[in-house]
Amino acid sequence: MRAAIQALSSSLLVLGLFAGDVEAANKIGVITTTTDLKALTEAIGGELVEVEALARGSQNAHDLEVRPSLMAKVRRADLLVVNGLELDQWVEVVVQGANNPKVIGGAPGRVDASAGILVLEAPKTRVDRSMGDVHPLGNPHYTVDPGMAPATTANILEALARVAPQHRAVFERNRREFLGRLDQAMARWTVALAPFQGAKVIVDHNMWPYFLTRFGLVQAGSIEERPGIPPTPGHITKLIALMKEEKIKVILIVPWGDRKLAERVAQDAGAKTVLVASAVGAVKGANTYVDTIDYNVKALAQALR
Amino acid sequence: MRAFVALTLVLGLLVPAAPAPAQDAEALRREMEQMRKQFEAMQEQYKKTMDSMAERLERVEARPQPAAAAPPVAVQPAPGAPPATGVTAQRPPGSAPSPLDLITPRQPFALYERRGPGQLLFDMGMVSDFVGNLTQRNVQKAEGGTFTGRENRFFPREVEVNLFGRIDPYAEGIIRFEFAQESSDREISATLAEAYLTLLTLPFGTKLSLGQVPVRFGLLSHLHREALPQTDAPNVLTRFFGEEQFRETGAEISWVAPLPFYFEALAGVFNGDNETAFGRGSLRYPLVTGRLRTFFDLEDFGAIELGGSIANGQTPEQLNDQIIGFHTKYKYQPAGWQRALFTIAGEFLYGIRQVNVTDPDAASPVEQKRTRERNGWYAYGEFRPFQHGPLSLWSAGVRYDRTQFPVNPGREWAVEPYLSFMPSEFLRFRVGYKHTERSHRDGVNLNEGSARTVDELFFQTTFFLGAHPSHPF
């Protein structure tokens, strides 16, 4: 018993010393729940931040398995940027296991990037689970819309400035430059999708209302009848009939979606599937935030042509 | 050389800026016309986008804004939020109520009128777990089944009401009430299963829980019963800690190392109320626990958790009992999958327990102190072979466990294949078959029945109301 206690004490001491070195890093350690938020935080923080995302771009950020490795990342964070609107509620379990008071709810190192945005599809009536895994606060996929970046980056900027007020000017300059680049790209994207105003598309998961509204496109239906529940054959039959009737030619699919089912629906309806990037890093070539929107706009324009 | 490069650059910059001599007025006019059209198209697009945004703004302003986790800065009232009711709501926070405030009638339903997301200030979740089992008549007579006294019955194994949330900026609290049928008398008992607060803002990556907590020993002993990977707990855990979850009243401190990989150390001091393993129930001779746990994320090759635990306390006879455990869990989740394709886990327990024994053959029976060294282990594997579609809702697994009885002589082993079906995250059905063989009839020979060989069929229905359950590793 004594030997066991001695071994435990020694190992804790060694780990404690090691911990001191790790904490000595100079950059602001930021953890984001999604890769979109990582890209936006990097754009604002520049060289002053070191950012890691908990979910990979190709993963469904709704429903991530809470691994202790995520807790280890959050343990060392100065700032935690969450998507909010109940997309990434699993992060609460990660924070609980991370023992880092800097990023618990209400702490200065915690920011909800959705604060103050114009939320779409917020239910106006009572919702319950008969509708599937619904989001009672509204659709949480606002980061795929580049038009939301000003609000989102403003939240991130304020949080970074809370953690490192001495660098506020740098963060503000970085944000201005980033939004400038985004404005230029936005003009390009708007022109690219202008010929398809009012075009109808089908999605596999209802995560594109912000993006489609921004560029004047219409979501006519979804393969996923109710969030989190596989679609019924009856729903698929109705969807195919709708696509034929309205001559809908495009189904947007995300990397983590059921591609085989989408392709079967597309084949039956005489349409085609288009793989879109659900987040930065979700597909090859979508390495930055602008690249990701570029990829999606090009893929969509090409499919609708 | 440098001068030549500079000259080339300057010329390169100037030449395109100069009017091209070959460019005639007609070409310029065409280009201007094209640009004008592009400009008009862009103008039109921006107008449409702004109209669309204005429409969205109207829609958003027509309803209360969701309460976002606001940073600690001055917060403006959400646009469109319903007007505050009552005089007190218009008073600056922190100021004393005026005489007018005090005499003005309160709005009795102001809370209801103003209720919105997050305003309850804590969360609620409910879990209902019903279990049915079928077994042999002699096993029922001997009360030797997995669910003692409830053999050949369908019963509420655990109905939980969970209340949890932040107490203040420094702490969070959990209260869990449990309703269950735990014996053959068919009565439903209501118990306070958990009630503890956790201090969140302690230094050096530590966290302290105080109250009635689930003791984090090993892999499964602290889990709520509905969260177990199989319908029942492995026999080794039931034999060493009892059918009840291992929960105690006291304090537990945890430390997470600020390392690139996960390393957690836990230590706890408790009353020692667990009657199966300890039961002294006094802080003068407390139950002391500890656990070390680490985790390695192997990315494309899965993830593995390793841990070791210890619990040291006293029995009601004032004798020492020490249990040491080691556990591991491995999961493989292919890229793009939401759930693990397969999970393999196991745990080994080793107990050193002092007991009083009497030799019945001796002329004058005298109690003697003896030390029992007992061990047991279990291992299970679970497979979920489909990524999408209706078949992705199914998973299957098998568990094997083998244990010695901690005090009396004898051992048992069991094998349990099972099949789970989860139509959604909030509903689960499970069926299983368990075959158990025992070397002795220790504790399972009531009413002259025998339960040395037990075959059981399990049916389990679990549903969740409220918050989305997370998926811990």
**Any chain A CB within 8 A of the CB of B58?**
no
Contacts of B260 (CB under 8 A, 6+ apart): A22, A72
Same domain, A53 and A134: yes
- Tens of pLDDT along B24-59? 777 777 777 767 776 776 676 667 667 766 766 665
Same domain, A173 and A221: no
- Tens of pLDDT along B232-266? 999 999 999 998 878 999 999 999 999 999 999 99
Same domain, A131 and A240: no
* Residues 142-201 of chain B whose Cβ lies under 8 A from any Cβ of chain A: 166, 169, 200-201
Last residue of a domain, one of A184, A202, A232: A184
CB contact under 8 A, A4 and B472: no
Distance separating alpha carbons of residues A255 and A55, to the nearest angstrom: 14
Same domain, A201 and A286: yes
**Cα within 13 Å of Cα(A122), Cβ side:** 21
CB contact under 8 A, B49 and A4: no
For residue A142, tell me if it sits in a domain: yes
For residue A209, tell me if it sits in a domain: yes
B245: helix, strand or coil = coil
Same domain, A118 and A48: yes
CB B309 within 8 A of CB B290: yes
**Confidence check: pLDDT of B84 > 60:** no
Same domain, A157 and A120: yes
Same domain, A58 and A114: yes
Interface with chain A: mutation pick from B222, B465, B471, highest number of A CBs within 10 Å: B471
Q: Which domain holds residue A264?
A: 194-304
β-strand A218-222 against A250-253: which pairing, if any?
Answer: unpaired
For residue A85, tell me if it sits in a domain: yes
How many angstroms separate the CA of residue B277 from the nearest CA in chain A?
A: 19
Same domain, A104 and A158: yes
SS3 labels along A157-207: HHHHHHHCHHHHHHHHHHHHHHHHHHHHHHHHHHHHHHHHCCCEEEECCCC
CB contact under 8 A, B425 and A190: no
Q: How far is CA A263 from CA A212, A227, A270, B310, in A?
A: 21, 19, 10, 54
Contact residues on chain B for A22, CB-CB shorter than 8 A: 258-260
Last residue of a domain, one of A116, A150, A184: A184
Q: How far is CA A18 from CA A12, B160, B234, B295, in A?
A: 10, 42, 38, 17
Last residue of a domain, one of A157, A184, A211: A184
For residue A189, tell me if it sits in a domain: no
Q: What is the pLDDT of residue B364?
A: 72
- Total domains in the fold of chain A: 2
Distance separating alpha carbons of residues B397 and B381, to the nearest angstrom: 5
Q: Per-residue confidence at B468, pLDDT binned at 50, 70, 90? A: low
Q: What is the pLDDT of residue A63?
A: 84
Q: Which of B226-235, B262-271, B360-369, B429-438 has the lowest mean pLDDT?
A: B360-369
Q: What are phi and psi of A29, to 5 degrees?
A: -85, 120
Distance separating alpha carbons of residues A196 and A189, to the nearest angstrom: 12
**Any chain A CB within 8 A of the CB of B445?**
no
**Confidence check: pLDDT of B115 > 50:** no
What residue ranges do the domains of chain B occupy?
135-150+219-466
- Tens of pLDDT along B331-356? 999 987 888 999 999 999 999 999 99
Q: Helix, strand, coil % (nearest 5) of chain A? A: 50, 10, 35
Distance separating alpha carbons of residues B388 and B385, to the nearest angstrom: 10
For residue A273, tell me if it sits in a domain: yes
| Two tokens, residue B389 | 């579609």
Q: Per-residue confidence at A217, pLDDT binned at 50, 70, 90? A: very high
Contact residues on chain A for B338, CB-CB shorter than 8 A: 60, 63, 256
Q: What is the pLDDT of residue B78?
A: 33
Same domain, A87 and A227: no
Contacts of B463 (CB under 8 A, 6+ apart): B127, B128, B426, B427, B428
Shortest CA distance from A256: residue in chain B? B336
CB B410 within 8 A of CB B404: yes
* Residues 394-423 of chain B whose Cβ lies under 8 A from any Cβ of chain A: 423
Q: What is the pLDDT of residue A127?
A: 83
Q: Does the model's ipTM exceed the 0.90 cut? A: no
Same domain, A218 and A285: yes
Same domain, A132 and A59: yes
Contacts of B468 (CB under 8 A, 6+ apart): A86, A89, A133, B425, B426
Nearest C-alpha neighbor of B185 from the set B158, B160, B150: B150
CATH 2.40.160.10 is right for the domain spanning B135-150+219-466: yes
Report the C-alpha dihedral over residues A263, A269, A271, A276, rounded to 10 degrees: -50
Same domain, A223 and A288: yes
**Any chain A CB within 8 A of the CB of B292?**
yes
Nearest C-alpha neighbor of B273 from the set B293, B262, B260, B289: B289
Angle between helical axes of A35-45 and A149-163 (0-180°, round to 10): 60
Interface with chain A: mutation pick from B164, B202, B256, highest number of A CBs within 10 Å: B256
Return the CATH number at A216: 3.40.50.1980
Of B44, B389, B470, nearest to A66 by CB-CB distance is B470
Angular region, B448: left φ>0, alpha ψ -120 to 50, beta rest: left
Q: What is this structure's pTM? A: 0.79
**Confidence check: pLDDT of A37 > 50:** yes
Distance separating alpha carbons of residues B347 and B349, to the nearest angstrom: 7
The residues that bridge with B98 in the sheet, in sequence order, are none
The per-residue b/e assignment along A234-262, b for 16 or more CB within 10 angstroms, e otherwise, is: ebbeebbeebeeeebbbbbbbbbbbbebb
